[in-house]
């Protein structure tokens, strides 16, 4: 009798009444025997199989059927190993039914409901990092063998070697950051933070370089290669403000990010408007609902940190996104001339990912010890981005001037505002929203314009300001 069949002894009907030769008993046998190998996920309508390193979705449930076939063959071998007699013959006839495909399908269908798991049961330990050669605890720094009980359905693209170092990576970071130690350290902390499933900082990162060939692409491509399955790329449209968006439709672009720890969006269009509400949700520790095409919806709490590398900072449709330090702009001001570029650099760095991982780990542990306060360069770049994104403030600064006795009709100012938004590639707010926002810059009174007779009805006026010379509704001289 094989070792495999030896294991079946405790699953025999005479050993446990749970394993009768009925449909229910056989489904119990499959579910119990493969409990650490196969689990059904109702939200995805498929089995997940533990491969020895991670749990993987079984598309088409083909692997589950192969496991069932394997058990079917071993049950026959086990039956033949029993002593001769009536019990052996009856048991052999019962297990031979497993050789029939239709019967195996019944077993698998019944087994689905025995130990089902939710998608949220996978990858719900934010400080476990699954590496090619084992699992690293990012808090205790302990390293252990892969274990199905960890319920990890994602794996990085790197082996953990606590002694590994990459002088090439460290030199690259210093070159890209132009020797700015504070900025390089903050980047190191941010990338280290991205190794975890912790999102308590509730922020996202804009790697902004106004010129091309500034190194941010090399940094992020290497980082994402090291992260493996924990790193996902997304289209800029995923976080863009969209007209007529059907929120109830399949949200595959969001669903595929469910277990990511870092999401990279590269080079959004110059005119893209950021959906501030969506970005707040993605970075705000809120539970989201998503679904893949033709699958059930599921809920998840994002674990990922959003990294946007761009030459053009996206426009924000709501400046409240800057509240609570949510936005972090990391300036990439270095420009590498053609003669300075090393076209083999990315390939070289791919060979040193274990060292890159340790550099990121040092950043994470430094962050845990000293905090995550941005350096002056990040604060200044973020403040400038906030100012440039506050279109109402910019409009007031460029188009209005304080005047104690000044007054102008709100509708006239709104027309100027819409024209200004069009010229500056901005999205114009609706009139009520604009009027409410202007309350912070001018008093609003309902009155007749200066010099108007009593036959003119009172109208809403902005008081204490006037339009600058050159506008359509500037004051008459």
Give dist(CA 335, CA 60) in Å, integer.
Answer: 49
Query: What per-residue confidence (pLDDT) applies to 474?
Result: 56
Report the domain count for the chain.
3
Domain check: are 107 and 242 in the same one?
no
Average pLDDT, the chain: 91
Domain membership of residue 475 (yes or no) is no
For residue 449 the two structure tokens come to 């314009």
Q: Is 310 exposed, middle or buried (0-12, 13-18, 19+ CB in 10 A)?
A: buried
Query: What per-residue confidence (pLDDT) applies to 212?
Result: 83
Domain membership of residue 408 (yes or no) is yes
Give dist(CA 437, CA 435) in Å, integer.
Answer: 5
Question: Is a pLDDT exceeding 70 seen at residue 132?
Answer: yes
Cβ-count burial 36-66 (b if 16+ within 10 Å, e if not): ebbbbbebbebbbbbeebbbbbbeebebbbe
Query: What per-residue confidence (pLDDT) applies to 292?
Result: 83
For residue 161 the two structure tokens come to 């070697």
* pLDDT tens-place string over residues 346-374: 999 999 999 999 999 999 999 999 999 99
Mean pLDDT, residues 26-45? 96
Say which range, 20-24, 115-119, 282-286, has the weakest mean pLDDT. Answer: 282-286
Question: Is a pLDDT exceeding 50 seen at residue 247?
Answer: no
Last residue of a domain, one of 50, 84, 117: 117
**Could you tell me the pLDDT band of residue 207, with boundaries at 50, 70 and 90?**
very high
Last residue of a domain, one of 384, 419, 448: 384
Question: Is a pLDDT exceeding 60 seen at residue 196?
Answer: yes
**Could you tell me the pLDDT band of residue 11, with boundaries at 50, 70 and 90?**
confident
Compute the radius of gyration of the chain from its Cα atoms.
Answer: 31
Query: What per-residue confidence (pLDDT) applies to 476?
Result: 46
**Could you tell me the pLDDT band of residue 248, with boundaries at 50, 70 and 90?**
very low
> CA-based angle 206:207:210, to the nearest 5?
110
Domain check: are 356 and 293 in the same one?
yes
Domain membership of residue 145 (yes or no) is no
Domain membership of residue 162 (yes or no) is no
Domain membership of residue 126 (yes or no) is no
Domain check: are 361 and 452 in the same one?
no
* pLDDT tens-place string over residues 407-461: 999 999 999 999 999 998 888 889 999 999 999 899 999 988 887 777 788 899 9
Domain check: are 180 and 287 in the same one?
yes
Strand partners, 407: 463
* Helix 167-176 vs helix 353-370: crossing angle, to nearest 10: 60
Domain membership of residue 151 (yes or no) is no
Domain check: are 411 and 462 in the same one?
yes
What is the DSSP code (8-state) at residue 16?
Answer: -
Domain check: are 20 and 55 in the same one?
yes
Question: Is a pLDDT exceeding 60 seen at residue 251?
Answer: yes
Domain check: are 333 and 205 in the same one?
yes
Mean pLDDT, residues 93-101? 94
Mean pLDDT, residues 158-182? 97
What domain range is 105 assigned to?
3-117
Question: Is a pLDDT exceeding 70 seen at residue 6?
Answer: no
Domain membership of residue 192 (yes or no) is yes
Domain check: are 378 and 415 in the same one?
no
The CATH number that applies at residue 178 is 3.40.50.300
Give dist(CA 407, CA 473) in Å, integer.
Answer: 11
Give the pTM: 0.86
Domain check: are 300 and 424 in the same one?
no
Domain membership of residue 125 (yes or no) is no
Question: What percent of the chain has pLDDT above 90?
Answer: 69
State the distance between the two ends of the chain, measured CA to CA, in whole angstroms: 106
Within 112-205, where are the H helices?
167-176, 181-193
> CA-based angle 60:135:54, to the nearest 5?
5
Contact 160, 354 (CB under 8 A): yes
Last residue of a domain, one of 384, 405, 438: 384
CA dihedral 191, 322, 233, 251 (to 10 degrees): 140
Domain check: are 356 and 446 in the same one?
no
Query: What per-residue confidence (pLDDT) applies to 243?
Result: 67
- How many CB atoms are located within 10 Å of the residue 406 CB? 18
Domain check: are 214 and 92 in the same one?
no
* pLDDT tens-place string over residues 291-302: 887 777 888 889
Helix (H) or strand (E) holding 41: strand 38-41
Note every long-range contact of 137-143, with CB atoms under 8 Å and residues 24 or more positions apart, other chains counting.
138/195, 138/196, 138/361, 138/364, 141/365
**Could you tell me the pLDDT band of residue 477, with boundaries at 50, 70 and 90?**
very low
Mean pLDDT, residues 226-240? 95
**Could you tell me the pLDDT band of residue 338, with boundaries at 50, 70 and 90?**
confident
The CATH number that applies at residue 445 is 1.10.10.10
**Could you tell me the pLDDT band of residue 1, with boundaries at 50, 70 and 90?**
very low
Domain check: are 10 and 106 in the same one?
yes
- Which of the given ranges, 236-250, 308-322, 461-475, has the highest pLDDT on average? 308-322
Contact 406, 465 (CB under 8 A): yes
């Amino acid at each position: 009798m094989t070792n495999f069949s030896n294991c079946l002894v405790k699953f025999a009907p005479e050993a446990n009444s749970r394993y009768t030769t009925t449909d229910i008993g056989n489904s119990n046998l499959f579910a119990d025997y493969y409990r650490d190998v196969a689990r059904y996920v109702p939200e995805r309508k498929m089995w997940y199989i533990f491969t020895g390193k991670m749990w993987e979705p079984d598309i088409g449930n083909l692997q589950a059927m192969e496991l069932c076939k394997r058990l079917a063959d071993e049950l026959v071998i086990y039956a033949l190993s029993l002593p001769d007699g009536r019990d052996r013959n009856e048991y052999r006839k019962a297990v031979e039914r497993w050789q029939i495909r239709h019967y195996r399908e019944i077993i698998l269908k019944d087994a689905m409901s025995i130990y089902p798991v939710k998608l949220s049961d996978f990858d719900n330990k934010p400080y476990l990092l699954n590496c090619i050669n084992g699992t690293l605890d990012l808090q205790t720094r302990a390293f252990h063998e892969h274990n199905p009980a960890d319920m990890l359905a994602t794996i990085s693209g790197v082996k953990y070697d606590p002694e590994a170092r990459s002088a090439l990576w460290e030199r690259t970071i210093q070159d890209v950051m132009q020797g700015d130690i504070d900025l390089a350290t903050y980047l190191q902390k941010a990338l280290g933070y991205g190794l975890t499933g912790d999102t308590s900082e509730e922020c996202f990162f804009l790697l902004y370089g106004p010129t091309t060939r500034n190194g941010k692409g090399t940094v992020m491509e290497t980082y994402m290669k090291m992260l493996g399955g924990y790193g996902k790329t997304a289209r800029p449209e995923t976080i863009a403000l969209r007209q007529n968006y059907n929120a109830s439709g399949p949200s595959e672009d969001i669903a595929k990010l469910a277990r990511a720890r870092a999401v990279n969006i590269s080079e959004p269009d110059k005119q893209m408007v950021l959906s501030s509400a969506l970005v707040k949700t993605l970075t705000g520790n809120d539970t989201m609902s998503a679904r893949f095409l033709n699958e059930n919806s599921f809920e998840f709490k994002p674990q990922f940190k959003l990294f946007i590398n761009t030459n053009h900072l996206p426009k924000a449709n709501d400046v409240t996104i800057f509240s609570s330090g949510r936005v972090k702009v990391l300036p990439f001001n270095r420009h590498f001339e053609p003669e300075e570029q090393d076209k083999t650099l990315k390939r070289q760095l791919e060979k040193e990912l274990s060292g890159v991982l340790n550099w990121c780990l040092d950043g994470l542990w430094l962050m845990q010890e000293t905090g995550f306060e941005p350096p002056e360069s990040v604060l200044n770049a973020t403040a400038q981005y906030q100012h440039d994104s506050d279109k109402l403030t910019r409009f007031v600064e460029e188009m209005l001037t304080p005047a104690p006795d000044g007054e102008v009709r709100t509708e006239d100012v709104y027309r100027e505002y819409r024209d200004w938004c069009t010229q500056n590639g901005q999205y114009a707010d609706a009139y009520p929203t604009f009027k409410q926002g202007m309350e912070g810059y001018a008093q609003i009174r309902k009155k007749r314009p200066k010099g108007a007779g009593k036959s003119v009805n009172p109208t809403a006026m902005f008081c204490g300001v006037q339009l600058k010379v050159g506008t359509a509704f500037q004051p008459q001289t």
